[in-house]
Amino acid sequence: MNPELTAVAPESERPEALFSISVSAIAWAVTTAGFLLLRLGTIWHTPVGGAELVHLSGAWQARIGVADDRFVPTLFQALTTLLLHISDSAIPARIVAFAATATIPAAVWFLRPRLGEAGALIALLLLAFDGPAISLGTSASAMGFDLAIAAWLFVAIGRKGLRPWTWAAIGFLVATAGPIPLVLALGAGGVALARREYPDRQAAAWGAGGAIVGNLAASARFGMGFDGGLRVPPFALFAASFDQMWSTANSLEITALYVAPVVAAGLAAAVLLGVRLRRRGAAEAHDLVLLAWAGVALLWLLVSGTAHSPAPVVALTLPLALLAGPALAEGVDAMVRADWRYARFLVPIALFAAAIALVFMLTWARNGQATDNGEKLLVTVLLLLALVALGAACWERRAVAALLAPALVIGVPLFVSAGMGVSFSSSGEPVPSPVSPVQARQLRDTALQLAHEHGGLIVVHERFAEEMTWPFRDSGDIVVASRVPGDASVVVWPKDLPRPDGYNAVDVSWNLLLEPDVPTDGFLAYLKWLSDRASLGRSEVPATVYVKASQ
């Protein structure tokens, strides 16, 4: 080969480019674009559901001046109420939530000095595909600002020389946010107190002042009237996450379905960091805050395992992604440098064996059960073979890092498909759920039209009192009753109750609420859902519309 053709010109002799873009910049741009795009669509096509349904209902009640426990209010919920004066749709509030969430990549970018360039990028990538966070970060729930506030709060905590008044803003925002920034505030507070790293008095005073103003504002319901009680929105929403129905699936189920890979990676990273700090004997505040944040969030998730809320999951994945990012960057580097002498054969063998086993299991999942004993034996042998191969591959210490390859091969598709599922087909996903279907609003239109035609009252059964707030918004006065009053002309009644005397059914199959089933009836059900995300059954809250017979 002619050396002249292959020689590389020295740097000084290279022609100067008009402009240059580093690979890093491209990576940041692409990841940020992905982060935003995965969220953008959900603003329009995701039905109102989960925590959003609860909090939008509260915001609507506040908008029309009705006291309701569902109006907490956080700053975002107060803004939502304001936006509902402009439009009775959830879209404007979602756009505002999206706008706040869209700043998260910038917050992560600011964390590069601490996470490393690659670490920060991977962290952002993990956050981009975080399904529950996609849903929460673009919803009109009271926690619409939470993720952004938490991310920026973490940035702020690590920065020195912030102007004192900045702490007032931070105090105000945390005091008027939901529980997700609270988790970080508690973790950081605990670390600061334990290490005696108290903020200077001026910053503390500004911060406390901001928090007090925030609490007073929330207590005054942001100008919608003081109802006597002290309101601390993060506390109130933290408590509500245990009692209210913000999700059909419980927190542990959401974790298993959507973010198990990032949780596993994050926890492993946290353990590694902990061990490293212990060996080092000294720790930077940043690392400790991150660990404490993740620790508090993990405790929240564990104690709320059976609560129907995605909030603890989202609160956990944020710090875990920041922990996992640098660890994965380091891990990939170690994986490349690992001893692949045997692993290069054994890892593919393990993956191949697992893939064949997976094919059988997917067939079982589609059929609903595994019947053929021969197949069962074969799958068992294949899985054992995969395990043995992996075990043999990492027999030598220098080859252990090679195990990251199969972990990534398994984890990445699971995580990405979960994120994409929420982003692109969320109407059939367990997150967000339960949802108020379009049909609920149509039912309201039908009832209004009938009432307009026939005159008289619209009566809705008491059982639907909660569910009807959002779809029946802006419908005039409606009677909620357990018995049909004499002056009712249109009656919206549970389908399982007998037809009210003197009323005829107009349409018998309306649904006020839809809940996709949660695929947690065993591993096969989960596999089936993975292979066909539209396969979930649905529970409904069926209603029938009746109109007075004489009319």
Partner 1 sequence: MTEMLAFWAAALVAGILGLPISFAMLRRLPDAGAALAMPFGLVLAGYLYFIFRVVGLLPFGRGGYLLALVLLALISCAVAGRDRRFLSTLRRTGPALTVVAGVFTCGFFAYVAFRSYNAEISGTEQPMDFMYLNATLTSKDYPPKDPWMAGEKASYYYFGYLQAGVLTSVADVVPSTGYNLFLAYTFGAAAAAIASLGYAFARWTLGSRAQRWALAAGGLAVGMLLLVGSLSAIFEWSAAHGEYNRTLYETMGVEWMIPCRAGQNQDCYSGPLNPRTTAWYPTEFWFWWRGTRIIPNTITEFPFFSFLLGDMHPHVMSIPLVLLSLGLSAAVWRGRRMLRFRSHIREPAAGLALAVVFGGLAFENAWDILTFTGVLALAVLARNLRAAARGGDDTGGRGAATLAALAYLGPVLALAVVLYVPWYRDFSSQASGFEAYVGKGTRPPHAFMQFGPILLAGLMVVTWAFRRTPRGLILDAGMGTLWVPMLPFGLWLAMVEFQGDLSAAVDARSAGGWVTLLAYGLIVWLLTTAAVVLFLRRSAAAPVAAVCALGALLIFGAELFYIRDIFAGVTPRLNTVFKLTYQAWMLLSLGGAVAVVAALRQAWTRRAASGWLAAPVCVVVAAGLVYPLTAAANRTEGFQKDTALDGNAFLARTNPDEYALTRWVREHTDPGAVIIEASGRKWAANNDQKPQVIDGNVDYSDAARISQRTGRSTPIGWFFHEIQWRGDTAAVRNELERRQDLVDRVYTDPNPTVVLEALRQLGAHYVVLGELETGVSARYPATTMAPFAQFLDVAFQSGPYRVYELPAYRVVHTS
- 479 contacts partner 1 (rule: CB under 8 A): yes
- 387 contacts partner 1 (rule: CB under 8 A): no
- 190 contacts partner 1 (rule: CB under 8 A): yes
Shortest distance (Å) from residue 393 CB to partner 1: 37
The residue within the footprint of partner 1, chosen from 271, 303, 355, 534 (CB under 8 A), is 303
Nearest-CA neighbor of 290 among 263, 323, 268? 323
Q: Select the span of 130-138, 187-195, 276-284, 400-408 touching partner 1 (CB under 8 A).
A: 187-195
The residue ranges of DSSP E strands in 294-378, in sequence order, are none
- 89 contacts partner 1 (rule: CB under 8 A): no
Region of residue 476 (phi > 0: left; psi between -120 and 50: alpha; otherwise: beta): left
Cα 159 from Cα 155, distance rounded (Å): 7
Q: Which residues pair with 459 in a beta bridge?
A: 479, 491
Cα 429 from Cα 247, distance rounded (Å): 11
The residue within the footprint of partner 1, chosen from 66, 67, 336, 384 (CB under 8 A), is 66
Shortest distance (Å) from residue 243 CB to partner 1: 5
Pairing of strands 488-494, 457-461: parallel
Cα 396 from Cα 390, distance rounded (Å): 11
The residue within the footprint of partner 1, chosen from 24, 87, 202, 306 (CB under 8 A), is 306
- 101 contacts partner 1 (rule: CB under 8 A): no
**Token pair belonging to 265:** 């990676």
Cβ distance to partner 1 smaller for residue 195 or 376: 195
Cα 161 from Cα 168, distance rounded (Å): 14
Cβ distance to partner 1 smaller for residue 151 or 240: 240
Shortest distance (Å) from residue 239 CB to partner 1: 3
- Residues 127-166, mask of contacts with partner 1 (x by CB under 8 A): ----------------------------------------
Cβ distance to partner 1 smaller for residue 303 or 549: 303
Cα 434 from Cα 518, distance rounded (Å): 11
Count of beta carbons in the 10 Å neighbourhood of residue 445? 11
- The string over 55-84, giving b where at least 16 C-beta atoms fall within 10 Å of a residue's C-beta and e elsewhere, is bbbbbbbbbeeeeeebbbbbbbbbbbbbbb
The residue within the footprint of partner 1, chosen from 70, 473, 533, 548 (CB under 8 A), is 473
Shortest distance (Å) from residue 413 CB to partner 1: 33
Cα 511 from chain centre: 26
Binding residues for partner 1 restricted to 191-210, rule: CB under 8 A: 191, 193-196
The HSE-up count of residue 47 (CA atoms within 13 Å, CB side) is 25
The residue within the footprint of partner 1, chosen from 145, 293, 364, 472 (CB under 8 A), is 472
Cα 132 from Cα 405, distance rounded (Å): 26
Cβ distance to partner 1 smaller for residue 133 or 236: 236
- 478 contacts partner 1 (rule: CB under 8 A): yes
Q: Select the span of 9-17, 27-35, 356-364, 457-465 touching partner 1 (CB under 8 A).
A: 457-465
Q: Who's near 48: CB < 8 A, 6+ residues apart?
A: 56, 90, 140, 435, 436, 470
Cβ distance to partner 1 smaller for residue 195 or 366: 195
Q: Which residues pair with 460 in a beta bridge?
A: 480, 492
The residue within the footprint of partner 1, chosen from 223, 476, 502, 522 (CB under 8 A), is 476
- 16 contacts partner 1 (rule: CB under 8 A): no
Cα 297 from Cα 351, distance rounded (Å): 33
- 68 contacts partner 1 (rule: CB under 8 A): no
Nearest-CA neighbor of 469 among 505, 507, 513? 513
- 260 contacts partner 1 (rule: CB under 8 A): no
Binding residues for partner 1 restricted to 237-256, rule: CB under 8 A: 238-243
Cα 468 from Cα 471, distance rounded (Å): 6
Shortest distance (Å) from residue 440 CB to partner 1: 13
Cα 335 from chain centre: 30
- 482 contacts partner 1 (rule: CB under 8 A): yes
Cβ distance to partner 1 smaller for residue 127 or 484: 484
- 216 contacts partner 1 (rule: CB under 8 A): no
- 487 contacts partner 1 (rule: CB under 8 A): no
Cα 368 from Cα 253, distance rounded (Å): 20
Task: Give residues in contact with partner 1 (CB under 8 A).
Answer: 64-66, 186, 189-191, 193-196, 229-232, 235-236, 238-243, 296, 303, 306, 460, 462, 465, 469, 472-483, 485
